[in-house]
């Protein structure tokens, strides 16, 4: 069995930056929601005294607050300032740009359309910068159901699938006379998706590593499946079932932008051991033939 790792996978710039800021943050720092969608990383930081809270009401006056890479709406900054919190802003610069683009579209008095998952914290933050007036959609049928519009501006969730974006964009072009598109899918996501697509096209199976609650990891699994490749999404090496790979020759590995290197390495190690086992089994089978 041969094991291949995607050319681009694992921590992206924005997540690495957020984790570095969190690692250097003082014990007692709160993050508004889990710092990234990876339970193992969140647990490690909690051991160092950097832990998530669900709302600013749980943070006392003057305490340190770290804003995660997904970003937050303007009212959080206002409330944090009223409470004199020591804010460390780890919002990814790509997310900041999407937030500002949404704000500008609303200031121009255009309809704002966000292509992304309604419940995702990044999309919620972009929508809040767009004065909570956005139409949010992520499926083609939702785009088809829109009424005809004179003008609208589009902002895209940074981790959205390129392919799905193109399909929705084509529908929006037929619905809106004057359509402004701010293509805010970030290059890290594009590179990871492209590398996953290329690898999945050549593999017997793909392993996608990352939080089950991570949107970008879910997208990687989705694009691999779209290549017709059997795809297994695991959070850690402990979830791997060696029976999945029985009789297979080439296995590809990729990981979401919020998956730390140590978890990727654990999976690679197991697959390498499996490789050794498979070689042994193969030798035994060959011996049986004599
Ligand atoms: Fe930022 Fe892109 Fe990562 S938006 S958080 S660099 S996936």
Residue 279 CA to residue 221 CA, distance in Å, equals: 28
Separation of CA 130 from chain center: 22
Instruction: Verify that 179 and 196 share a domain, yes or no.
Output: no
Q: Shortest CA distance to 11 belongs to which of 214, 276, 267, 225?
A: 214
Q: Is the CB of 188 under 6 A from ligand 1?
A: yes
Q: Residue 20: which pLDDT band, with cuts at 50, 70 and 90?
A: very high
Host domain of residue 42:
13-92
Q: What is the CATH number of the domain that holds 31?
A: 3.40.50.11270
Instruction: Verify that 193 and 282 share a domain, yes or no.
Output: yes
As a whole number of Å, the CA-based R_g of the chain is 22
Closest CA to ligand 1's atom 6: 14
Q: Is the CB of 158 under 6 A from ligand 1?
A: yes
Looking at ligand 1, which atom is closest to the CA of residue 216?
7
- Domain final position from 185, 214, 234: 185
Q: Residue 155: which pLDDT band, with cuts at 50, 70 and 90?
A: very high
In this prediction, residues 7-11 reach a mean pLDDT of: 94
253 pLDDT more than 70:
yes
In this prediction, residues 5-30 reach a mean pLDDT of: 94
Q: What is the CATH number of the domain that holds 267?
A: 3.40.1010.20
Pocket test for ligand 1, best of 15, 21, 99 (most atoms within 8 A of CB): 15
Q: Is 122 a catalytic residue?
A: yes
Instruction: Verify that 101 and 83 share a domain, yes or no.
Output: no
In this prediction, residues 55-84 reach a mean pLDDT of: 96
For the chain, the domain total comes to 3
Q: Is the CB of 257 under 6 A from ligand 1?
A: yes
pTM: 0.81
Q: What is the pLDDT of residue 40?
A: 85
Instruction: Verify that 98 and 87 share a domain, yes or no.
Output: no
Name the catalytic one among 20, 58, 122, 284: 122
Mean pLDDT of the chain, nearest integer: 91
Q: What is the pLDDT of residue 288?
A: 37
Instruction: Verify that 196 and 272 share a domain, yes or no.
Output: yes
Q: Residue 101: which pLDDT band, with cuts at 50, 70 and 90?
A: very high
Looking at ligand 1, which atom is closest to the CA of residue 93?
1
Q: Where on the phi/psi map is residue 202: left (φ > 0), alpha (ψ -120 to 50), or beta? A: alpha
- Domain final position from 70, 92, 114: 92
How many angstroms does the Cα of residue 165 sit away from the middle of ligand 1?
A: 17
Q: Is the CB of 126 under 6 A from ligand 1?
A: no
Instruction: Verify that 267 and 251 share a domain, yes or no.
Output: yes
Instruction: Verify that 54 and 29 share a domain, yes or no.
Output: yes
Share of the chain above pLDDT 70, in %: 94
Instruction: Verify that 173 and 247 share a domain, yes or no.
Output: no
Q: Residue 276: which pLDDT band, with cuts at 50, 70 and 90?
A: low
How many angstroms does the Cα of residue 16 sit away from the middle of ligand 1?
A: 9
Residue 206 CA to residue 33 CA, distance in Å, equals: 30
Closest CA to ligand 1's atom 2: 186
Q: Which residue would you say has higher pLDDT here, 96 or 242?
A: 96
Instruction: Verify that 115 and 56 share a domain, yes or no.
Output: no
Q: Residue 284: which pLDDT band, with cuts at 50, 70 and 90?
A: very low
Instruction: Verify that 199 and 280 share a domain, yes or no.
Output: yes
239 pLDDT more than 70:
yes
Q: What is the pLDDT of residue 15?
A: 92
In this prediction, residues 210-234 reach a mean pLDDT of: 93
81 pLDDT more than 50:
yes
Q: Is the CB of 128 under 6 A from ligand 1?
A: no
Per-residue CA distances from 103 to 116, 155, 204 (Å):
16, 10, 45
In this prediction, residues 119-124 reach a mean pLDDT of: 94
281 pLDDT more than 80:
no
Share of the chain above pLDDT 90, in %: 84
286 pLDDT more than 70:
no
Instruction: Verify that 171 and 102 share a domain, yes or no.
Output: yes
283 pLDDT more than 90:
no
Instruction: Verify that 281 and 193 share a domain, yes or no.
Output: yes
180 pLDDT more than 50:
yes
- Domain final position from 59, 76, 92: 92
**ipTM score assigned to the predicted complex:** 0.98
How many angstroms does the Cα of residue 177 sit away from the middle of ligand 1?
A: 31
């Amino acid at each position: 069995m041969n094991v291949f790792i995607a050319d681009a996978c694992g921590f992206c710039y924005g997540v690495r930056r957020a984790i570095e800021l969190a690692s250097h943050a003082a014990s007692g720092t709160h993050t508004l929601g889990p710092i990234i969608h990876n339970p193992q990383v969140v647990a490690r930081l909690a051991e160092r005294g950097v832990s998530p809270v669900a709302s600013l009401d749980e943070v006392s006056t003057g305490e340190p607050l770290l804003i995660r890479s997904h970003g937050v709406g303007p009212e959080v900054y206002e409330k944090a300032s009223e409470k004199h919190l020591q804010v460390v802003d780890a919002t990814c610069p790509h997310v900041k740009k999407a937030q500002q683009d949404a704000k500008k579209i609303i200031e121009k008095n255009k309809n704002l359309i966000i292509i992304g998952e309604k419940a995702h914290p990044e999309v919620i933050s972009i929508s809040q910068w767009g004065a909570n007036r956005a139409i949010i959609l992520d499926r083609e049928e939702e785009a088809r159901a829109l009424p005809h519009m004179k003008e609208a501006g589009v902002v895209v969730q940074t981790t959205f699938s390129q392919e799905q974006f193109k399909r929705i964009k084509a529908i929006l072009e037929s619905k809106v006379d004057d359509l402004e598109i701010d293509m805010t899918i970030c290059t890290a996501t594009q590179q990871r998706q492209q590398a996953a697509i290329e690898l999945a096209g050549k593999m017997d199976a793909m392993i996608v590593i990352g939080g089950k609650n991570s949107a970008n990891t879910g997208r990687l699994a989705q694009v691999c499946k779209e290549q017709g490749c059997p795809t297994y999404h695991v959070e850690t090496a402990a979830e791997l079932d060696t029976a999945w790979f029985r009789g297979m020759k080439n296995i590809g590995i990729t990981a979401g932008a919020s998956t730390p290197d140590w978890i990727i390495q654990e999976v690679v190690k197991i697959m390498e051991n499996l490789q050794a086992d498979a070689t042994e089994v193969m030798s035994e089978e060959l011996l049986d033939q004599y």
